[in-house]
Structure 1
Amino acid sequence: MSAARYKQRGLSLVELMISMTLGIVLMTGVVQMFLTSRVTYGTQQAISQVQESGRMAMDFLAEDVRMAGYFGCTSRNPNVSSGLEASSDYLYDFTQVVSAYPSTASLTGVNNVSEDTDILVIRRASSGSVHLVDSHNSGSNANLRINQEPENDCLLEGQLCDDSIAIISDCSQGRIFRAVNVQASSGGGAQGMVVHSAGGSSPSNSDPQLGGQSFGEGSEVMALNSIVYFVAPSAFPSAGLEVRSLWRKVGERDAVEMIEGVERLRAQFGVDTNGDAELDTYKWREEMSSADWQDVMAVRIHLLLNSIDGNVLDEPQPITFAGTSLTGSDVTDRRLRQIFTSTVGIRARLE
């Protein structure tokens, strides 16, 4: 009988079990590496998103805070009068260059504000300006002839349009008014015209003649706005999780969602308490008296950012923000959180 008839074919049960065990060990290692890489990738993405959003949010806020109270060349000598009819709406109170309100405040165009955050209002003129090409004397007509032609009835890249709030300044005085019309000029030498006559939206101009004030050639005309920052739920929420965002409202326009992942906004205000033009102390919004707002020289901004996605961390991340401890239900989503703080001086108030 040939020995070939007894040649072994296939695998024994022992060999099969050993092979399966080795395969399971190898697959376990591969799956573990995949899960570790996925968690690391998710964490790195969350860190990048939070840091980028935090820097951008702080840049937007810092730029506007720094320019609070900017009224052109009259900023250092704020001899500014308002030609608007009386109004109790916060949008037209340009006597306070910066102010803040609790999240429960009822403010025009500011809706669904998240609790435990501040509403920050900054009042400033636009960075750009147009200039008078001839003098505008007391008692003359309502037309301000300027050196720039409007585009689609707007100036300054859409900042100063029909019915906008504006300010005219000649470095010794300024006047706030509503620009009823922005139009091309029919006269020679001027490219455009800003009309400040009676009419327009409420509050309208109380005097069509700029209250008897005269402004010489070269006087600057700028858009003037109350700029509002607040935190509210995002218009594009993540599935199953609330996403908060930083919103910005400019003047009478609708609020615009700026940056996702901003969970809370709080501010402290640096106040000159003794009138020596030096900052003496910082106060939270709820510690400010009505008189303190006139003496604010700097704003310390506190932002709490979180990752858009939940379950980024292995366990909840307790954190203390602006003196408030976030624990328990505040952090059970296991999002990554980071605090950003910056102190910004108000240029118009600093020596």
Structure 2
Amino acid sequence: MSTGNPYPKSSATHQSGLSMVELLVAMVIQFILLAAMIYVYSASKQMFTVNEQMARVQENGRHATDALLYDIRMSGYAGCRSMEDITPNIIANSPPTFASFADALTVYEGGTGWTNPTALTRVAGTDVITLQSTRGGGVSLTGNMGTDNANIQITSNPDGLATNDLILISDCSSADLFRATSVSNGSPVTIAHANNANTTNRLSKAYQEDAQILSFDAHTYFVAVDAAGESGLYQYSLNSNSATQLTSGIDDMQLLLAEDTDGDQQPDVYVSADAVIDWEAVIGVRVGLLLQSANGIASASRSFSFDGAEANTGDDMRLRKAFWSYAALRNRIN
């Protein structure tokens, strides 16, 4: 008969909990993993923000550049003849205020000599450019004008001509620039040129049905700051007598003129407006725009070179990118 313990001691070791050392090790591991996750998230968020802001800078740069280059290429366009080939008879009140009507392109170096027609504050040191030309495809007269002060009739109004617009009428041998005092919406469309918006109601001649009516405007591009202190590129229209912001985030605009010094219709030198020797030899414009991001997101401030000089960017920590493009003056190249 056995007299041993009916409940023999188990050989298994019972778990009584984590030691302090084990707990500290586990907490350290968790902290490292959490820190790594936070770092990856922050880096991803920063990269997303940088990419988003740079994409906006690229978009603004393309939009501003496209608008400028289109107007530069079309400057001097007057339908069948260049404005440099015809000297128009100007009867419009408040006409383009250039040295001569043939000056389809005017550049003000650093804004010198330009009278700001708006309440906006131009950014100091930035260039200003004014470009004038007709707009749209033009439309022919429905018939001959009986007299030189008769109303003008056209078949339709595809260019959206309106009262007080500057309008050029031309038959490729003569041209008149006037302001429309009324534009009817009937068929045909009737355009009046009374002397309440013109120096006289008489054109240089009674045009025949081979003449064309074209919308005319002068656009001035300049960099200015808005009420919030943010700079942008503005377009001032002589027709509407108002300025429209084309895009924000423009720090600077610098323009170089391409001169053809040997008559081969190829640019020989690029100079600033105050160094142009012969404006008749200017055949193109090199446009430089310095853009900035909307917010300060750079990791550190840095200097930025633009147009051969150090750009005054301060410590705003914004991303910046320079855009340089070239446009030929198509109506000066044969």
- 1:152 corresponding residue in structure 2: none
Answering whether residue 320 of structure 2 is matched by residue 314 of structure 1, we say no
- SS state of the match for residue 284, structure 2? strand
RMSD: 2.7
Instruction: State the match for 1:224 in structure 2.
Output: 216
> Cα distance, 1:166 vs. partner?
0.8
Aligned equivalents of 1:278, 1:76: Cα separation in 2: 21
Compared CA separation, residues 3 and 98, structure 1 to 2 (3 A): farther
Please name the residue that 1:207 is paired with.
200
Taking the aligned partners of 2:37 and 2:9, their CA distance within structure 1 comes to: 44
User: Whose radius of gyration is greater, 1 or 2?
Assistant: 2
Secondary structure of the residue aligned to 1:128 is strand
Cα separation, partners in 2 of 1:76 and 1:317, compared to 1, 3 Å: same
Q: 1:141 to 1:173 in 2, by over 3 A?
A: closer
Contact 2:254 2:288 in 1 (8 A): yes
- On the 8 A contact 1:80/1:176 being kept in 2, the answer is no
Please report how far the alpha carbon of residue 9 of structure 1 lies from its aligned counterpart in structure 2 after TM superposition: 3.8
Structure 2 residue 333 is the aligned partner of structure 1 residue 345: no
Report the CA distance between 1:297 and its aligned residue.
1.4
In the TM superposition, residue 252 of structure 1 has moved relative to its aligned partner by 3.5
For 1:9-24, list aligned pairs within 5 A. 9-24=16-31
Q: Partner of 1:27: helix, strand, or coil?
A: helix
The CA deviation at 1:334 is 2.0
**Is 1:300 equivalent to 2:292 in the alignment?**
no
In 2: Cα distance, 1:64 partner to 1:110 partner: 24
AA of the residue aligned to 1:322: D
Quote the Cα distance in structure 2 between the aligned partners of 1:85 and 1:35. Answer: 61
Q: Does 1:31 align with 2:43?
A: no
Does the 8 Å CA contact 1:92/1:226 hold for their aligned counterparts? Answer: no
Residue 74 of structure 1 contacts residue 174 of structure 1 at CA under 8 Å; is this kept in 2? no
Deviations for 1:140-169, whole angstroms, at most 9, x for unmatched residues? 443011111xxxxxx4454x2101111001
Q: What is the percentage of aligned positions where both structures have the same residue?
A: 27
User: Aligned partners of 1:230, 1:348: CA distance in 2, in Å?
Assistant: 23
Q: Distance in 2 between matches of 1:215 and 1:173?
A: 9
Change in 2 beyond 3 A, CA 1:27/1:277: closer
How many aligned residue pairs are there?
323
Of residues 248-257 and 274-283 in structure 1, the stretch that sits farther from structure 2 once superposed is 274-283
SS at match of 2:196: coil
Aligned match for 1:324, one of 279, 287, 309: 309
Cα distance, 1:195–1:87 mapped onto 2, change above 3 Å: closer
Inter-partner Cα distance in structure 2 for 1:83 and 1:249: 21
Residue in structure 2 matched with residue 257 of structure 1 by the alignment: 245
Alpha-carbon distance in 2 for matches of 1:29, 1:43: 21
Q: Is the 8 A contact 1:140 1:209 kept in 2?
A: yes
On the 8 A contact 1:317/1:337 being kept in 2, the answer is no
Residue 132 (structure 2) pairs with residue 123 (structure 1): yes
| 1:278–1:197 CA distance, 2 compared to 1 (3 A) | farther
Gaps in structure 1 of 5+ consecutive residues: 149-154
- TM (normalized to structure 2)? 0.87
Q: Map 1:105-184 onto structure 2 (within 5 A).
A: 105-109=114-118, 111-136=120-145, 139-148=147-156, 155-158=157-160, 160-184=161-185
TM-score normalised by structure 1 residue count:
0.83
Output the CA distance in 1 between the equivalents of 2:192 and 2:94.
Answer: 21
CA gap of 1:206–1:280, structure 2 versus 1, over 3 A, is farther
Structure 2, unpaired ranges of 5+: 1-6
Q: 1:20, CA displacement in angstroms?
A: 0.9
Distance 1:337 1:28 in 2: 32
How much does 1:85 deviate?
Answer: 5.9
Note the alpha carbon deviations across 1:283-311, whole angstroms, 9 max, x for none: 2123236xx43442111111111111113
Report the secondary structure of 2:310's partner residue.
strand
